[in-house]
Structure 1
């Protein structure tokens, strides 16, 4: 397979690869996927990334014996000081199982190091049901979370890095004056050392250590008391609502913002992603 830098006029095909990959492997609505592909991989966005010396873009061209499109995979990385970050990696579902994802990851990591990165991390959207296990195949561990804004959507990315790297991970910049805890727990406040949120005059206590994944942000178990002995319900960290219902298969859904439970499991992993 040939790995090379894309041309600006290939943005449309890149979007098609991104769209088909997200549709297959991400727990996102069609509207969310359309918004993200247009925002991150529109013609102007791709052209700007190609011109940006800090950004790395590589595509894989389909080899002999593969019918259809000439582009089968895409990876994007970025150099931030001592860190190189692989922040997007997509393989067209029709071309999976040929080692394309592995080649893209290894090539991007090597290129970032050649450009001066001392360490390389990978970020994976929480809603990506297959990407987490994919990066774990390379010995990387989940070392932190990051909230990003894409096309008006607040989404969570998991940050993966080597377990023996003892340096601060790169983070997205926040708006000036924005508090990290307020960003992670909207509508919540600290009361006598306890994280709480109020609903119709009732105070619920948020259990930080009882977390469930969601497509936009995590859910947290809430309790009626400080001792966390009587469960109240669930709190949505995307919008701050307590209006969270439990549907079939114990799946959570926020009635206010549509954030949904996105549990990851080994059963959801398709190793053809490699």
Structure 2
């Protein structure tokens, strides 16, 4: 296996790797996956980042079992304000289990430090149900969330850093506005000592910020009929402000307005093939 800088004519293959990896391992709809790949991994977008001195791209090349498909993995890093950020890492599902993901991560981290990064962090989409455990294998810890807008899709990225690092990391930049997901407002909710939201029939419910469930676009929060949080009403979607949240018999949450879904992460959902 060789880790090297890609060429501009390999953009289409990179996109194929990204698409197949996201389809296999991300809890996103086909339309959301298409939006990310069309916006961030289109041929011209990859070509532009190859010219950008603050962006580092690397691919993993293995012996071509099928002609033209030697590229089996992709990683992207960025240098900003003393930080090196590993922004994206993908491995073709058909080539997992060979250490490609580990080699890509370690090579990118070393390259970013060689280029002047004093600290390295990793961002992982909330919807990447396997990527979180992969990053934690390297001793990194969840250290904040960023909301990123990609092709009109609002997504949440988790930021992972070395626990010994005591410095603020820069906002993730993916070509659109980014903000700290922890500091964003609650849509359609009145902010008081307790967070309030109104139901369709005019009732008031209370959002408990301490009871949070992950979601593919934003978190879900438990809601109560009273300010003391004793009688549960249901759930609140922090992506669109809706209270129209359904739960199936597998405890899977889904927002009836925006399609945000609960992305359960557990040891059972982790796939060692990334390593």
- Same fold, TM exceeding 0.5? yes
Verify the 8 A CA contact 1:2 1:61 in the aligned structure 2. yes
The whole-number CA distance in structure 1 between the counterparts of 2:85 and 2:265 is 23
Verify the 8 A CA contact 2:3 2:58 in the aligned structure 1. yes
Match of 2:132 in 1: 132
Match of 1:164 in 2: 164
The whole-number CA distance in structure 1 between the counterparts of 2:205 and 2:115 is 49
Q: Structure 2 unaligned segments of length 5 or more: list them.
A: none
Deviations 1:138-186 (A, max 9, x none): 000111111111111111111101111111122247969x997773422
The whole-number CA distance in structure 2 between the counterparts of 1:86 and 1:179 is 18
TM-score (norm 2): 0.94
The whole-number CA distance in structure 2 between the counterparts of 1:194 and 1:148 is 27
Give the 3-state SS of the residue equivalent to 2:48 in structure 1.
helix
Match of 1:115 in 2: 115
Match of 1:205 in 2: 206
TM-score (norm 1): 0.94
The whole-number CA distance in structure 1 between the counterparts of 2:29 and 2:134 is 22
Verify the 8 A CA contact 2:145 2:156 in the aligned structure 1. yes
Match of 1:230 in 2: 231
Distance 1:137 1:175, change over 3 A: closer
Deviations 1:112-141 (A, max 9, x none): 111111110000001101100000110001
The whole-number CA distance in structure 1 between the counterparts of 2:33 and 2:249 is 24
Aligned: 1:91 with 2:91: yes
Give the 3-state SS of the residue equivalent to 1:250 in structure 2.
coil
Give the 3-state SS of the residue equivalent to 1:260 in structure 2.
coil
Equivalences, count:
271
Match of 1:25 in 2: 25
